[in-house]
């Protein structure tokens, strides 16, 4: 089977800027086999702690993404319910005004018993016509009353539903705030550990990250076809983002977290998929064998399903891996994350 190497980015200046950004972020490589031996015996322990904090931050990010998606849905539902309730209230007010007019007309015409009114009337035929009209009016009033009561109940139900959704929205917004604090706390802890290292150690870690990016540029993917045109289109969109920085909660077009990249890429292909890795794990057709994956299939990683990327071919994943890193290709075997299953869309 023929193979190809992924071409380097066309803009050298842009790549240099991103490399500087990665070095400043002092991110860690997820490919320990590429790291140089470190002289400090405690360094490995510090690096493991930082790796764990980054992993916990990305896991919390997916929960944040889920809460954010839920908040957006609730906001739309609340707006729709409130808008519908307002329209129905307006119709209810008009109906109430009509009922008032009917009641006033009956009051003006109904002061005497109908038989007495007929006896005293100077125009019996005219009175009988008027009485028939009032009888029809009474039937209309009953129908209007029934409509009024029905609409009143519907408006009340919609207001109650909107109130319930608003309560859920308030709770979800609180969850968003809590997850944001958790993520920022994890990243701050990681940065504190990094700051405690020597300048040489930090430079070595930054070099490991740059080495991972250079390895991505040399990734050999093969030329296997995708399983569908939409998967091919989404994968092509994701490939155009190689070199873009990881930013938690970001969904493009210039920065991404893991599920932000996959959802954005499928959006470019005209396909709407859920925002979080856990939700993406439950869509499409599940592919249990790594060997059965095609380029453009989603890869679900970690036992809690908190990471997702694209299968790129030849045992490679295209993903936005972690804080401080860039969208890149990596060996699935060396990613440090267990493969759970693939998803074909």
Report the b/e string of 281-291 with b at 16+ CB within 10 A.
beebeebeeee
> Rounded CA gap, 294 and 342, in Å?
9
SS3 192: helix
Show the domains of the chain with their CATH numbers. Answer: 27-218 (1.10.287), 221-345 (3.90.1720.10)
> Any residues with CB less than 8 A from the CB of 29 and at least 6 apart, and which?
35, 205, 208, 209, 211, 212
pLDDT(287) > 90: yes
Catalytic residue numbers? Answer: 258, 307, 319
Q: Would you state the structure tokens that stand for residue 29, as one six-digit string?
A: 């490589």
Query: Tens digits of per-residue pLDDT, 97-128?
Result: 766 665 565 555 554 445 444 444 455 556 55
pLDDT at residue 116, as a whole number: 43
Q: How far apart are CA 88 and CA 42, in angstroms?
A: 69
DSSP, residue by residue, 216-227: HHT-B---PPPS
Can you give the pLDDT at residue 208? Answer: 87
Give 277: exposed, middle or buried? Use CB within 10 Å, 0-12, 13-18, 19+. buried
Q: Shortest CA distance to 209 belongs to which of 9, 23, 52, 12?
A: 23
- Please tell me the predicted confidence (pLDDT) of residue 131: 57
Residue 38 has pLDDT above 60, yes or no: no
Mean pLDDT along residues 313-317: 96
- The pLDDT, as a whole number, for residue 25 is 38
Q: Tell me: cis bond preceding 10? Omega within 30 of 0 counts.
A: no
Per-residue pLDDT, 135: 57
């Amino acid at each position: 089977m023929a193979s190809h190497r992924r071409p380097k980015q066309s803009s050298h200046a842009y790549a240099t800027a991103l490399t500087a950004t990665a070095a400043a972020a002092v991110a860690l490589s997820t490919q320990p086999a590429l790291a140089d031996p470190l002289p400090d015996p405690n360094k490995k322990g510090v690096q493991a702690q930082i790796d764990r904090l980054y992993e916990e931050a990305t896991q919390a990010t997916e929960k944040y993404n889920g809460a954010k998606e839920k908040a957006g849905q609730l906001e739309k539902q609340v707006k729709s319910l409130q808008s519908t309730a307002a329209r129905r209230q307006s119709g209810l007010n008009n109906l109430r005004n009509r009922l008032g007019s009917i009641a006033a007309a009956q009051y003006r015409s109904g002061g005497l018993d109908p038989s007495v009114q007929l006896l005293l009337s100077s125009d019996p035929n005219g009175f009988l016509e008027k009485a028939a009209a009032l009888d029809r009016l009474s039937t209309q009033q009953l129908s209007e009353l029934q409509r009024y009561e029905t609409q009143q109940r519907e408006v009340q139900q919609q207001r109650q539903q909107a109130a319930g959704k608003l309560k859920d929205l308030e709770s979800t917004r609180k969850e968003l705030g809590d997850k944001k604090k958790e993520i920022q706390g994890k990243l701050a802890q990681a940065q504190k550990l990094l700051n405690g290292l020597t300048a040489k150690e930090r430079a070595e870690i930054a070099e490991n990250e740059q080495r991972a990016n250079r390895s991505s540029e040399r990734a050999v993917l093969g030329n296997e076809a995708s399983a569908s045109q939409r998967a091919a289109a989404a994968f092509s969109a994701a490939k155009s983002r190689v070199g873009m920085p990881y930013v938690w909660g970001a969904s493009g077009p210039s920065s991404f977290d893991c599920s932000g990249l996959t959802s954005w890429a499928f959006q470019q292909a005209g396909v709407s998929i859920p925002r979080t890795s856990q939700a993406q794990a439950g869509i499409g057709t599940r592919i249990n064998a790594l060997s059965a994956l095609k380029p453009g299939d989603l890869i679900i990683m970690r036992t809690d399903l908190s990471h997702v990327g694209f299968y790129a071919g030849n045992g490679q994943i295209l993903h936005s891996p972690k804080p401080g890193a860039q969208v890149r290709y990596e060996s699935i075997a060396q990613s440090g994350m267990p493969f759970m299953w693939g998803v074909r869309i």
